[in-house]
Structure 1
């Protein structure tokens, strides 16, 4: 299956991001945990276990397990909804906000053009100019 260069670039950025997350000190999250974390931190809505399960199309127990890990890492907290005691709200934490900043920095670094990739078009132009000069000098 052939991938376009845009797809290649995106998948390589994803790989670079994940590798950086795994190599750094601190927790690395599973895909499900990361999906729950990012949903809670990037969307301003109040989040509930039920709502996250519906939005991510996974079971409530799967969300609960992901939240258990996030809570163990102090990246999110669960509290009872004061308006509806049956509902559990997900709260952001200071450590979670710092983790999001770190993750953003890792993604930005992974998406920054590599020096050799950025220099490649310049080398091509210089090469063409040299060829043109040689042709003229002939």
Structure 2
């Protein structure tokens, strides 16, 4: 049995998670949208467009486009900061919280599956098939 090293196992879990999210019914998120989403839901708030742009090292328009999409999907919403009308706060939504729970569940399943390592396949399956015939 082949045993994956830790970095490969983590990348495999990430791949399995992304594939499961893409296969789900409905819309999937781009890497940037997912990065903004996870930063909002896993980081301490309050979150602002300006702060997210600085944290992720991308432009404010890129954050705005990602938030437009997250807003369309009801995964996050924007609200003008009542204390500073120039600032826009990013808020979590119930649907976004449910989506985060789904992501955690998918990742847990992928992590569990990664512990079950299948026997290594022959390097050249075509020649292995010829030998068997």
- Could you tell me the TM-score, scaled by structure 1's length? 0.79
- Cα gap change, 1:8/1:109 in structure 2, threshold over 3 Å: closer, same or farther? same
- Cα gap change, 1:80/1:116 in structure 2, threshold over 3 Å: closer, same or farther? closer
Residue equivalent to 2:124: none
The gaps in structure 2 that reach 5 residues or longer are: 120-133
Shift of 1:114: 4.8
Shift of 1:44: 2.4
Per-residue Cα deviation, 1:41-75 (whole angstroms, up to 9, x for no partner) = 01121000000000000000000000000000000
Aligned partners of 2:54, 2:31: CA distance in 1, in Å?
A: 17
Residue equivalent to 1:85: 85
Aligned partners of 1:19, 1:56: CA distance in 2, in Å?
A: 23
Aligned partners of 2:40, 2:115: CA distance in 1, in Å?
A: 35
More helix by share: 1
Residue equivalent to 2:22: 22
State the superposition RMSD in angstroms: 1.7
Instruction: Tell whether 2:65 aligns with 1:65.
Output: yes
Matched residue pairs, number? 116
- Cα gap change, 1:11/1:87 in structure 2, threshold over 3 Å: closer, same or farther? same
The gaps in structure 1 that reach 5 residues or longer are: 121-138
Using CA pairs under 8 Å that are at least 6 residues apart, name the structure with larger relative contact order, 1 or 2. Answer: 2
SS at match of 1:58: coil
Shift of 1:7: 1.5
Aligned partners of 2:101, 2:25: CA distance in 1, in Å?
A: 15
Aligned partners of 1:115, 1:52: CA distance in 2, in Å?
A: 35
Aligned partners of 1:7, 1:116: CA distance in 2, in Å?
A: 16
